[in-house]
Amino acid sequence: MKSKTAILLELWSEARTRFSNQLQNLTEADLTKKLSPSPNSIGFLIRHICDVELLFAKNVFGDSTVKIIAKTVIDKKDTGEWTNLADLKAYVKQSFTTLKAIIEKQDDEDWETSVTTQEFGTKTKAEAFGRVVSHTTYHAGQIAIINKYVH
C-alpha cells in the first residue's frame, strides 16, 4: 500500500502536467501574449506559478534551504520582464524539483499538521497542498486560453 505522500505526489505530478506540457510548444514570442483586459502575460504566469511553488516549499513545508524573491507576488502585476523562455523553463524545473524534494520528506502524519500563512490562514498541510495544486492548474488554464485566442 502506498503512503499518503506517494499518493499526493502522484496527484500533484499528474495535475502539474496541465502546466508543464504547454511549455513544450511555447515560443519566446508567446511569453508576452495577454488576453485583454487581463494585465498578465504568459511569461508572468509561468514565473508566478514557480514563485508560488517555491514559497510553498519554504513556508508551508519548511524547506529552509529555499532562497526566493517572489517578484510576481511582491509586484502584484506584470512588469513585462519575463520574456526569456530558457530561463523560465529552468525556473519551472527548479520549482518542481524543489517542491517535490520537500514533499518526499513528509511522513503520513505530517499531512495532518497545521500551518499558518498570511495568504490563507491556518490549514493542514494536505489542505495547503490542495491550494498549490489548484493554483498551478488555475494559471495553467489561463495560459492555455491566452495561447488559444491571442495570435
Give dist(CA 43, CA 143) in Å, integer. Answer: 9
**Tens-digit pLDDT profile for residues 45-99:** 999 999 999 999 999 999 999 999 999 999 989 999 999 999 999 999 999 999 9
> Which secondary-structure segment (H or E) carries 121?
strand 121-124
pTM above 0.75, yes or no: yes
At the fourth CATH level, which superfamily is domain 4-23+39-149?
dinb family like domain (1.20.120.450)
Q: Are 50 and 91 in contact (CB under 8 A)?
A: yes
What are the structural domain ranges in the chain? 4-23+39-149
